[in-house]
Amino acid sequence: MIHPSAVIHPRAEIGSDCEIGPFCVIGEHVTLGKGCKLHSHVVMDGHTRLGEANEIYPFASIGLKSQDLKWKGGITHTVIGDHNTFREYVTIHSATNDGGATTVGSHNNLLAYCHVAHDVKVGNRVVMSNVATLGGHVIVEDEVTIGGLAAVHQFCRIGKMAIIGGCSKLVQDVPPFMLADGTPAKTRSVNKIGMERRGMAEEVQSALRQAYKILFREGLTIPNALARMEKELPPFPEIKHLAEFVRTSERGLSR
């Protein structure tokens, strides 16, 4: 189902059962998996590959050249998984350096005007509310929620199942399972509602609450906080993931 006003390069690869609406433009090196739906006025270009059953709303722009002034040419990629929803005016840009890639996983929901910059890595089941913006090289792990108008600085990381408050300015990493808010953002508490909604066991939630207190309320250095966590908390996978995230932080934590 391709509208006659759509402009599709003859070498683009269009999967079965795709719907491409009026005035869409699809470039030469674009691949659409089966069952994708482009409503209208969608522009896709560059070396861009989408998986199956993605739904893209009007005026979204995917796979175009990075805005980074360091771009010197070459082949860069945009790789997107399955069952994503990209609402109106979403922009997802390709990587900056030859051979690099901007990646978005599966089952994500990006609301209107969201921006995913060059070399970003977005995991699975992420929700970005309206006008949320990710700077270059940002990493967003699985099941993160980013509030509307929030801005994430380049090279920051947001850990699994974290939530970022609306209008926040994020300039350092937010650990997994935490809630951050403010300008600049600070980690305020654990993501209690998120953990409950995902059915996390109460003993794991309790351990994460203790980890939050050690990391953010005891006035400890990061090495001392990690040592206390290792000594005092049960070795749940979630605690190990949190500790490893904190240990490998390069920008420091939002605290």
- Which residues have a catalytic role annotated? 118-119, 136
Give the pairing type, strands 101-104 and 77-80. parallel
Residue 223 CB coordination number (10 Å)? 10
- CA-closest candidate to residue 207, choices 239, 176, 231: 239
Residue 39 tokens read as 């409503």
For residue 228, what is the enclosing H or E element? helix 222-232
Q: Is residue 156 within 8 Å of residue 172, measured between CB atoms?
A: yes
Q: Which residues of 119-145 are buried (b: 16+ CB within 10 A; e: fewer)?
A: bbbbbbbbbbbbbbbbbbbbbbbbbbb
Distance of CA 208 to the CA centre of its chain: 23
